[in-house]
Amino acid sequence: MPQSRLTGSRIRERRLFLGQKQSGLAKAVGISAAYLNLIEHNRRRIGGKLLQDIARELGTDALALTEGAEAALLGALRDAGQRVPEVEPELHRAEDLAGRFPGWAGLVAAQHQRIRDLEQLVEALSDRLTHDPELAASLHEVISAVTAIRSTVAILSGGGDIDPDWQSRFLRNMREEGRRLSGAAQGLVEYLDAGADQDMAPVVPGEELAAFLDQRDHHLPELEALSDAQGDTREAAIEALVEKVGVLETAEAKDVARRHFQQYAADAAAIPLDRLQAARVTAQDDVSALAEQFGQPLPVVMRRLAFVPPPDGDAMVGLVSCDGSGSLYLRKPLPGFALPRFGAACPYWPLYQALSRPGQPQRALVEQPGPTPRRFLCQAICLARDTLVFDRPPVLEAVMLIQPADDAQAAGAKALPVGSSCRVCPRTDCAARREASILSPDR
């Protein structure tokens, strides 16, 4: 039976709880009080018959005395300690805290998780306040009405003589603008109140599709079966799936979904699922090797790796795509790699390096900030989405595959510091920063 170094602490806590004296327990199990004192202070290991005898005298079983604190609780305590390094917590004594005071340890872990949840909420709300089109339109309506009223008031209070007919027109305009202001303000309040009861409801068509894809982890078995279907059969199946998706409420969202499903079906036909899963084992998810093996462009391989379930034991991968403007329009999240909900992301991402060098693959080991910084291998490529012709700019599309860095990649290698977006990135010494972060200690 594996022994925890806190077995002695648990024996002592149990004995004190029962009100037994150290000498009495020692005599009952046939050892000296001095030896039991060493055991209780974790200076002597214990097992076998002696452990069974002590457990019997304490009215418990040996397993209760030897089992260590849960790994999840210990991990949460260490994460909480690493989050505020300036306090210099004794990370090596996390198991002591969990073993002797499990209630307090659970409280620290719960508060740590609560802080992380609140930070993610602040990040999402800040992103929304900055880029939400409906909120921007409502605020513009309020400001426009206020400006019109102020202009009218300035004219009427200017002191000059105004024709009665014009006075009547100005007053009528003020009443109309006042009603518009009232309606805009009421609509803004209702929108914000509704937002408080919703889990970041979609505000653009692409987000309606993203909500559906996140539920499926971006894997669509219905479209995998279309690999051999052609023409009208494939289109009919895609149209049936579009109508089946309940979160697609607008025509715009259905159009976005239709294009994505068509791309998914084309990728599945180019690289069938069964052949891909067999090839991944030998290629070890080497994007270039898989592209060469299947004779397909890198973006097709990247999408297939991101959108199909990984073989047993393999880590999940993420993916992002952007157009020539740099705005992200396809996101498959990966835990630990923060993706902004709206707008552009960190300009240091290989995604944007690829966008500036069409046709040239980019790869980098990157590190996301956080209490425990995590490293990822990012591979990106930018290609023209349409046929190249003279006198017309190309329509560019960049795709980036995100994979957790394995030990061999992370050990000793220099990683590129990146973030999510400037507004929620804590890095203060970044040359690419566009605006101050709301997570900065100075704010």
**Is residue 81 in a domain?**
yes
Q: Of 81, 100, 119, at which residue does a domain stop?
A: 100
What Å distances lie between residue 320 and 16, 178, 338, 344, CA to CA? 57, 45, 11, 11
Asked if 240 and 199 touch (Cβ cutoff 8 Å), the reply is no
51 and 146 both lie in a single domain:
no
93 and 188 both lie in a single domain:
no
Radius of gyration of the chain (CA): 31
| Residue 197: predicted pLDDT | 44
441 and 346 both lie in a single domain:
yes
How far apart CA 311 and CA 283 sit, in angstroms, is 12
Q: Which residues pair with 403 in a beta bridge?
A: 377
Domain containing residue 377: CATH number:
3.30.450
The first and second tokens of residue 297, run together, are: 């462009």
How far apart CA 432 and CA 253 sit, in angstroms, is 33
Q: Is a pLDDT exceeding 50 seen at residue 233? A: yes
Domain containing residue 31: CATH number:
1.10.260.40
| Residue 301: predicted pLDDT | 94
411 and 346 both lie in a single domain:
yes
**Is residue 309 in a domain?**
no
| Residue 377: predicted pLDDT | 92
412 and 348 both lie in a single domain:
yes
The first and second tokens of residue 136, run together, are: 């921007």
329 and 434 both lie in a single domain:
yes
Mean pLDDT of the chain: 79
**Is residue 211 in a domain?**
no
**Is residue 84 in a domain?**
yes
Range 289-312 average pLDDT: 90
Asked if 205 and 256 touch (Cβ cutoff 8 Å), the reply is yes
Query: What number of CA atoms fall less than 13 Å from residue 266's CA on the CB side?
Result: 10
Q: Is a pLDDT exceeding 80 seen at residue 206? A: no
Q: Which residues pair with 384 in a beta bridge?
A: 396
The first and second tokens of residue 296, run together, are: 């397909």
The first and second tokens of residue 64, run together, are: 């209760």
58 and 143 both lie in a single domain:
no
Asked if 351 and 391 touch (Cβ cutoff 8 Å), the reply is no
Q: Determine what percent of the chain is predicted with pLDDT higher than 70.
A: 79
Q: CA angle, 199 as apex, 198 and 202 as ends, to 5°? A: 90
Q: Is a pLDDT exceeding 90 seen at residue 424? A: no
- Give the burial string for 39-76 (b: 16+ CB within 10 Å, else e): bbebeeebeeeebebbbebbeeebeebbbbbeeebbeb
Single-letter amino acid code for the residue at 427: R
**Is residue 115 in a domain?**
no
Q: Tell me: the pLDDT tens digits for 62-81? A: 776 776 555 567 777 777 77
**Is residue 242 in a domain?**
no
Distance, first Cα to last Cα, the chain? 52
Residues 6 or more apart from 114 whose CB is under 8 A from it? Answer: none
| Residue 193: predicted pLDDT | 54
Q: Which of 238, 240, 276 is nearest to 260 (CA)?
A: 238
Q: Which of 349, 356, 352, 340 is nearest to 402 (CA)?
A: 349
Q: Where are the alpha helices (DSSP H) in 132-272?
A: 133-156, 164-196, 205-216, 221-224, 231-244, 251-270
Q: CA angle, 403 as apex, 397 and 407 as ends, to 5°? A: 150
Single-letter amino acid code for the residue at 217: D
Range 259-274 average pLDDT: 90
What confidence category does residue 383 fall into, taking pLDDT thresholds of 50, 70 and 90? very high
**Is residue 271 in a domain?**
no
31 and 92 both lie in a single domain:
yes
How far apart CA 129 and CA 126 sit, in angstroms, is 5
152 and 96 both lie in a single domain:
no
What confidence category does residue 97 fall into, taking pLDDT thresholds of 50, 70 and 90? confident
Range 179-200 average pLDDT: 61
Asked if 92 and 99 touch (Cβ cutoff 8 Å), the reply is no
Q: Tokens 């505000």 label which residue?
A: 203
**Is residue 267 in a domain?**
no
Q: Is a pLDDT exceeding 90 seen at residue 431? A: no
| Residue 414: predicted pLDDT | 86
Q: Of 144, 172, 193, at which residue does a domain stop?
A: 193
Q: Is a pLDDT exceeding 50 seen at residue 3? A: no
What confidence category does residue 371 fall into, taking pLDDT thresholds of 50, 70 and 90? low
How far apart CA 211 and CA 218 sit, in angstroms, is 10
Range 319-333 average pLDDT: 88
Task: Tell me, yes or no, if the pTM score tops 0.95.
Answer: no
| Tally of structural domains, the chain | 3
Residues spanned by the domain of 89: 7-100
| Residue 198: predicted pLDDT | 46
How far apart CA 339 and CA 353 sit, in angstroms, is 17
Q: Of 178, 193, 208, at which residue does a domain stop?
A: 193
325 and 429 both lie in a single domain:
yes
3-state secondary structure of 404: strand
329 and 435 both lie in a single domain:
yes
Specify the range with the lowest mean pLDDT, choosing from 193-207, 208-222, 383-397.
193-207
Specify the range with the lowest mean pLDDT, choosing from 138-152, 190-204, 325-339, 367-381.
190-204
435 and 338 both lie in a single domain:
yes
Q: Is a pLDDT exceeding 90 seen at residue 146? A: no
Query: What number of CA atoms fall less than 13 Å from residue 93's CA on the CB side?
Result: 8
Q: Is a pLDDT exceeding 90 seen at residue 354? A: yes
Contacts 24+ apart (CB under 8 A), 81-89: 82/371, 82/372, 83/112, 83/115, 83/371
